[in-house]
Structure 1
Amino acid sequence: MKYTYMGRSGLKVSRLCLGTMNFGVDTDEQESFRIMDAALDAGINFFDTANIYGWGENAGRTEEIIGRWFSQGGGRRERTVIATKMYGDMSDANDGPNGSSGLSAYKIRRHLEGSLHRLQTDHIELYQMHHVDRNVTWDELWGAFQTAVNQGKIGYVGSSNFAGWDIAVAQGEAKARGLIGLISEQHKYNLLCRLPELEVLPASKSLGLGVIPWSPLDGGLLAGNALRGGAGKRSGDMKRVEKHRSQLEAYKGLCDELGEREDVVSLAWLLANPAVTAPIIGVRTLEQFERSLRAVELELDEAAMKRIDEIFPGPGGDAPRAYAW
């Protein structure tokens, strides 16, 4: 496994991040344990989750599974950089009107305590805002996050699904308070979704955030099964496959020439971007996990990268050049 710093922080993480969204939903607890054990054995120390995973009335289930895995000991907790997120409604009647989706000092305090309890730990390395909430001031948010840092309950703060503008504002407000600010931005980014190259990636790289791409295979559309009728449930119905069929067929041809799987090439392409810290591999099975490891070793040459750009054109260049000249 290879490692890198998370943005400009001193935190080192593996170049692949284990996503846990399927744990307790499509992946049972026993298989989840096997995947997490295999991840540590492979050198992956970076795990991502969220308090709402498990979904609906089962929100929190995924964190509970990770907590029970931590409780087995054997250095599991000590060897893991755990990242979780908060923003959504945890369906806790005690929250009352403060339970609705959004950010606040109230939610940072209560939902952090909930995650710590479910994860069976006293600290979280990376605590992330699952979405931006433009109704809340950064005075409130940075004050609440810094309190949690001072208490030793979180190490760093990250964002998810922020626009480039939101990242810039957040970092400016943090700097004014003498704080590190955000160290990561978790964002949808893949070969079929390259819009973040215009604003989010340049802003993150310039302002000290490591980008953590979610849905790196676009819900399974880039995994190699879509053309055979096996697109992942998050990729939508076959209408999306038909929409991108010519691209997917050309991509399959390139991967066949390279002698590599489509999913592996998709991950390797992300890893080649200097703004990217670690794509999230949201595997459902141990077999899927083991296949993903190849991406860290694969280095795509200039010719392959050019072919990929021809098949999946980007949005037009880095900001501000794409707009101004």
Structure 2
Amino acid sequence: MKYRRLGRSALKVSELCLGTMNFGPRTSEEESFAILNEAVAMGINFIDTANQYGGHLGVGATESILGKWFAEDPARRDRVILATKVYEPMSGDINDRGLSARHIQMACDASLQRLKVDHIDLYQMHHIDRTAPMEEIWQATDRLIAQGKITYVGSSNFPGWKIAQANEKAIARHRLGLISEQSLYNLTERRAELEVIPACHEYGVGVIAWSPLAGGLLAGPSGEADGRRHSPEVKAGTAARSEQLSLFAELCIELDETPGAVALAWALHQSGITASIVGPRSRQQLIAIGHVPEIVLDGAALARLDAIFPPIGPAPEAYAW
């Protein structure tokens, strides 16, 4: 496994980040534990979750599974960088959602209880909250840091302007600010290159790519798509991009790699990307992509990928005049 600094912080995280959204709703507790154990054995030290994950089992179910795994062996906690998120509705209560200072404090305490840990390494705002002033948000996170409950703050699904605003407000408070942004980014969805990634580069914010396989669209027929390649959305995407995917498959055959492995490796070859999130449903799926950090795509391969999946450029001034 290879490691990179998370943004401008001194924290080092594995290039593959274990996403846990499947834990509970799609993957049993037993198999989730097997995936976690395999991930640690592979050298993955970065685990990402969210307080809302749980699907039909209910919000918080995924964090609770992680909590049981940590409780089995308390030494595990010190071996991983643990990230979770706040924003999504956790109940029908009008205040049990968003990024108010009150909800941030209560949601963090609830996550700590479910995870059975005393601190969260990276606490991420899951979405932008247009009703919450950044001053209020930073006040709340400053308090959590002072209490020792969180160490770093990150964002997810933020636009470039909000990343800039958040960090400018933090600078004014003489605080570190955001160190990471978790963004939708893959070969078929490159809009983050326009302003999000440039903004992150300017402020020293590491980018964590989520859905690097485009929900299964880029996984190919080898079963790396977490079973989602048969969904109506992926089927529609496959039909709409049939020519692109055919050219992509041909390139992957030439590279002697699976489409999923190439898609994950491509993200890690892009400027500003710290890690790619992988969300395996089974231990075998994780093992199949464990070699991704070792894949080297040369200039010719990267150029062909750009030709197949063109960037939306030039960034960051695509529409400026």
TM-score, normalising length: structure 2: 0.96
What SS does the aligned partner of 1:279 have?
strand
Q: Is the 8 A contact 1:186 1:211 kept in 2?
A: yes
| Match for residue 275 of structure 1 among 272, 277, 294 | 272
1:254 and 1:187 map into 2 onto residues whose CA distance is 26
Residue 76 of structure 2 corresponds to 76
RMSD value, Cα: 1.7
1:323: how far off? Answer: 2.7
Moved beyond 2 Å, runs of 4+:
229-235, 322-325
1:103: how far off? Answer: 1.1
2:291 and 2:23 map into 1 onto residues whose CA distance is 22
In structure 1, the gaps of 5 or more residues are none
| Match for residue 260 of structure 1 among 249, 257, 282 | 257
| Match for residue 200 of structure 1 among 181, 189, 196 | 196
| Match for residue 306 of structure 1 among 303, 310, 313 | 303
1:97 is aligned to 2:88: no
1:97 and 1:302 map into 2 onto residues whose CA distance is 51
Residue 159 of structure 1 corresponds to 155
Question: 1:170-319 residue pairs with structure 2 within 5 A?
Answer: 170-225=166-221, 231-232=228-229, 236-319=233-316
Q: C-alpha offsets along residues 269-311 of structure 1, whole Å, 9 cap, x if unaligned?
A: 1001120000100111111111111210001000000000000
Q: 1:173 to 1:235 in 2, by over 3 A?
A: farther
| Match for residue 133 of structure 1 among 113, 129, 132 | 129
Q: C-alpha offsets along residues 202-230 of structure 1, whole Å, 9 cap, x if unaligned?
A: 11111111000100000100001299x97
Question: 1:105-144 residue pairs with structure 2 within 5 A?
Answer: 105-144=101-140
Q: C-alpha offsets along residues 151-207 of structure 1, whole Å, 9 cap, x if unaligned?
A: 100000000000000000000000000000000000100000001101001111111
| 1:252 counterpart letter in structure 2 | A
1:235: how far off? Answer: 7.1
What SS does the aligned partner of 1:251 have?
helix
Residue 25 of structure 1 corresponds to 25
1:75: how far off? Answer: 2.0
1:238 and 1:232 map into 2 onto residues whose CA distance is 7
1:57 and 1:296 map into 2 onto residues whose CA distance is 33
| 1:29 counterpart letter in structure 2 | E
| 1:261 counterpart letter in structure 2 | T
* 254-263 or 65-74, larger mean C-alpha shift: 65-74
What SS does the aligned partner of 2:166 have?
helix
1:16 and 1:65 map into 2 onto residues whose CA distance is 20
1:162 and 1:281 map into 2 onto residues whose CA distance is 20
1:97: how far off? Answer: 2.1
1:317: how far off? Answer: 2.0
Residue 35 of structure 2 corresponds to 35
TM-score, normalising length: structure 1: 0.95
Identity over aligned pairs, percent: 50
1:121 and 1:51 map into 2 onto residues whose CA distance is 14
Q: Is the 8 A contact 1:226 1:241 kept in 2?
A: no
2:42 and 2:75 map into 1 onto residues whose CA distance is 15
| 1:122 counterpart letter in structure 2 | D
What SS does the aligned partner of 1:152 have?
coil
Q: How many residues align?
A: 319
In structure 2, the gaps of 5 or more residues are none
Q: Is the 8 A contact 2:3 2:14 kept in 1?
A: yes
Q: Is the 8 A contact 2:27 2:282 kept in 1?
A: yes
Q: 1:226 to 1:238 in 2, by over 3 A?
A: farther
2:271 and 2:170 map into 1 onto residues whose CA distance is 24
What SS does the aligned partner of 1:30 have?
helix
Q: C-alpha offsets along residues 36-74 of structure 1, whole Å, 9 cap, x if unaligned?
A: 000000110000000000036611010000000001116
Residue 59 of structure 1 corresponds to 59
Q: Is the 8 A contact 1:17 1:279 kept in 2?
A: yes
1:52 and 1:233 map into 2 onto residues whose CA distance is 25
2:230 and 2:195 map into 1 onto residues whose CA distance is 29
